[in-house]
Amino acid sequence: MNVGVVVFPGSNCDRDMFHVLSDVFHMTPQYCWHDKPLPENLDAVVLPGGFSYGDRLRAGVIAAHSPIIQDVKKIAEKGIPILGVCNGFQILVESGLLPGVLLKNDSLNFMCEWTNLTVENNKTPFTNKFELNEKIPIPIANGDGRYFVDDETLKELERKNQIVFKYDQVVNGSSNQ
């Protein structure tokens, strides 16, 4: 599987993502610079974490207007899988590819700690090595990590099986965790 790993100025998790895709999932990743077109041969795209553009203005908002995002939107329309991790998720929301908004954490503090995720959907190329309901320990580090959508949108995401992971506990006040 050929996977594009999008790199923005300020990103700092693209190398980690490249390693995981290559050495753990045995995929064929390639770096894709934010102001260049996406290669034609991609089977998936990942937007990794890491404070793109220093999170100036708002987390992910500047990156959401980078030239490559137009290509990401086009492949999303074709049904090609896209994964956004941490800042990458924020970019997907800011670009309109995902519904909702990201708000300041309930505590109004930057959070840097370990928590657990529960696998809600293991039918994606990025989650098919996990068991359904498996608990995964992960580090989180964010100040704007509280995902919010209205109840109707949340029900639609659940109906379409688009919620892939949930926090095990209340972490930052996100909708339905």
> What is the per-residue pLDDT for 14?
93
Residue in the structure block whose two tokens are 């995929």: 27
pLDDT at 172: 77
Amino acid at 154: L
What tokens does 100 get? 């909702």
Q: What is the pTM of this model?
A: 0.89
Where do we find the tokens 């990201």? 102
Q: State the pLDDT at residue 49.
A: 86
Mean pLDDT by 10 residues, the chain (177 residues): 95 93 95 94 94 72 90 96 91 94 90 94 92 95 89 94 88 73
**What was the pLDDT predicted at 32?**
97
In 3D space, the residue among 124, 132, 136 whose CA is nearest the CA of residue 167 turns out to be: 136
In this predicted structure, what is the pLDDT of residue 56? 66
Closest CA to 163 of 128, 131, 119, 116: 119
Strands (E), 89-175: 101-103, 111-119, 135-142, 146-148, 165-167
Spell out the domains of the chain, with CATH numbers in brackets.
1-98 (3.40.50.880), 99-177 (3.40.50.880)
81 close to 47: Cβ distance less than 8 angstroms:
no
Q: Which two tokens stand for residue 90?
A: 């924020």
Query: In angstroms, rounded to a whole number, what is the distance separating the alpha carbons of residues 72 and 52?
Result: 16
